[in-house]
């Protein structure tokens, strides 16, 4: 039922490519197959494009409204919304593809893809965005370390970072973001880096998948 | 010191810092795009207020429905200033409001209790809507 990270990667990859608009009344393999796919995979939300804080606010409202209609506990709904905001804000802060100047730290627009699927109170949220290739090593080490942690260890690491005086370098959330996502997740977080012909050697596509 | 009020938005809480009444309240959602900027303004004002305080009872009400990772870190840091004011001879009470179903928010209140032992932390569970 749930899309695997690999499958999401291929969908996310396909989206930015210019779509050929179907002629009036002849859908071909386009819109309808996307719709069928979305229905089959229980897609609750899908966004691919430039994200800004204003877009995040509106999407959060949309997701909230959609979640009010599916069967899910208040707890899970809140966790899903929290994960969405965390992942979306990561895109706005860290995606290497920006439509605003690199030194601008407010009103930013950056490129990313986010997908939420779910049914029966179980949800998966996936995100992807391009990063600069040298970032991969650091991010890989950080996520691998969190993946290896037990629930208690995640909690302890979170608590340590919370009390730490200095915010972690390269991080606007003091290194808390991934720990908070891991804490809320029902399984270890999954991630992947891929070189993408469309983006070239300077970049890697970073994919993240979190089950709630 | 003049009071400070900011209306709430979709991604920032209502800020109602009534220094004249020694009652400071935060209420709503908290995931500003630039959390450092948002909190440093609040912290600068509050540090100024606290620096001149002696033997005062201060009430801090926090009723946030959600805060992102950047805000988590900064909120915790801001509460350190209240703890310091308590150690300096004031009595600061943090009223921590959380949805009874939201263990993340409840845990954060407990973390405040654990870390800042000079503060009086009152936990208030709110019934889910």
Secondary structure, 3-state, chain B: CCCEEECCCCCCCEEEEEHHHCEEEEEEEECCCCHHHHHHHHHHHHHHHHHCCCCCEEEEEEEEEEECHHHHHHHHHHHHHHHHHHHCCCEEEEEEEEECCCHHHHHHHHHHHHHCCCCEEEEEEECCC
Question: CA A197, CA B112: separation in Å to the nearest integer?
Answer: 48
Residue-number span of the structural domain to which B42 is assigned? 11-126
Can you give the CATH number for the domain in which A70 is found? 3.30.565
Nearest to A77 by CA among A34, A118, A39: A118
- Looking at residue A147, its pLDDT comes to 95
Token pair of A155, please?
């909690």
Q: Which residues pair with B121 in a beta bridge?
A: B94
The B residues from 44 to 63 touching A (CB cutoff 8 Å) are: none
* A42 found inside a domain: yes
Residue-number span of the structural domain to which A61 is assigned? 5-12+32-130+185-211
- Looking at residue A3, its pLDDT comes to 65
Question: CA B67, CA A59: separation in Å to the nearest integer?
Answer: 17
- Looking at residue A35, its pLDDT comes to 80
Number of structural domains in chain B: 1
Can you give the CATH number for the domain in which B23 is found? 3.30.750.24
Residue A7: phi and psi, rounded to 5, are -65, -40
> With pLDDT > 90 as the criterion, what percentage of chain B qualifies?
93
* B6 found inside a domain: no
Q: What is the torsional sign of CA A181, A186, A189, A190?
A: negative
- Looking at residue A40, its pLDDT comes to 86
Helix axes A135-147, A177-184, angle to 10 degrees: 40
Number of structural domains in chain A: 1
* B3 found inside a domain: no
- Which residues from B are below 8 Å from A74, CB to CB? 99, 101-102, 128
pLDDT tens for residues A168-181?
555 655 579 999 99
State the pTM of this model: 0.86
- Which residues from A are below 8 Å from B11, CB to CB? 53, 56-57
**Pairing, β B91-99 against β B120-126:** parallel
- Looking at residue A174, its pLDDT comes to 57
**How crowded is residue B100: how many other Cβ atoms within 10 Å of its Cβ?**
13
* A97 found inside a domain: yes
Comparing alpha-carbon positions, the chain B residue that sits nearest to A76 is B102
Q: Which residues of A touch B (CB under 8 A)?
A: 53, 56-57, 60-61, 73-75, 78-79, 81-82, 85-86, 89, 92, 105-108, 159, 161-163, 167, 172-174, 176-177, 180, 183-184
Q: Which residues pair with A210 in a beta bridge?
A: A125
pLDDT per residue as tens, chain A (212 positions):
456 776 776 666 554 433 444 445 555 566 677 788 888 888 999 999 999 999 999 999 999 888 888 777 888 888 999 999 999 999 888 777 777 776 776 667 788 999 999 888 889 999 999 999 999 999 999 999 999 999 999 999 999 999 887 655 556 555 799 999 999 999 999 999 998 888 788 889 999 999 99
**From edge to edge, which strands make up the β-sheet containing B120-126?**
B4-6, B14-18, B23-30, B57-67, B91-99, B120-126
- Looking at residue A46, its pLDDT comes to 93
Question: CA A57, CA A60: separation in Å to the nearest integer?
Answer: 5
pLDDT tens for residues B8-34?
999 999 999 999 999 999 999 999 989
* A200 found inside a domain: yes
* B42 found inside a domain: yes
Question: CA B22, CA B57: separation in Å to the nearest integer?
Answer: 7
* A135 found inside a domain: no
- Looking at residue A33, its pLDDT comes to 77
What ipTM did this prediction achieve? 0.90
């Amino acid at each position: 039922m749930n899309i695997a990270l690999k499958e999401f990667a291929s969908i996310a990859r396909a989206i930015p490519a210019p779509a050929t608009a179907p002629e009036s009344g002849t859908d071909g393999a386009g819109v309808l197959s996307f719709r069928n796919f979305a229905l089959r995979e229980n897609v609750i939300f899908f966004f691919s494009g430039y994200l800004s804080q204003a877009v995040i606010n509106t999407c959060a409202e949309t997701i909230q409204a959609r979640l009010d209609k599916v069967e899910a506990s208040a707890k899970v709904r809140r966790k899903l919304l929290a994960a969405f905001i965390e992942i979306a804000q990561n895109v706005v802060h860290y995606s290497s593809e920006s439509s605003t100047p690199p030194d601008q730290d407010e009103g930013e627009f950056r490129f990313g893809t986010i997908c939420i699927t779910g049914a029966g109170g179980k949800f998966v949220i996936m995100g992807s965005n391009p990063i600069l290739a040298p970032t991969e090593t650091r991010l890989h080490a950080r996520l691998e370390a969190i993946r290896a942690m037990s629930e208690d260890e995640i909690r302890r690491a979170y608590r340590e970072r919370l009390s730490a005086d200095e915010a972690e370098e390269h991080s606007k959330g003091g290194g808390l973001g991934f720990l908070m996502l891991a804490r809320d997740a029902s399984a270890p977080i999954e991630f992947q880096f891929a070189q993408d012909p469309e983006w070239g050697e300077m970049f890697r596509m970073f994919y993240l998948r979190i089950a709630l | 010191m003049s009071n400070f009020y900011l209306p709430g938005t979709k991604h920032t809480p209502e800020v109602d810092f009534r220094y004249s009444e020694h009652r400071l309240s935060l209420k709503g959602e908290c995931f500003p795009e630039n959390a450092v900027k948002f909190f440093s303004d609040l912290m600068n004002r509050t540090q100024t207020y606290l620096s001149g305080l002696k033997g005062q009872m201060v009430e801090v009400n926090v009723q946030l429905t959600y805060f992102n990772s950047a805000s988590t870190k900064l909120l915790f840091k801001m509460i350190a200033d209240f703890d310091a004011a308590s150690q300096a001879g004031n009595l600061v009470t943090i009223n921590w409001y959380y949805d009874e179903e939201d263990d993340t928010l409840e845990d954060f209140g407990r973390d405040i209790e654990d870390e800042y032992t000079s503060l009086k932390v009152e936990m208030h569970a709110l019934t889910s809507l």
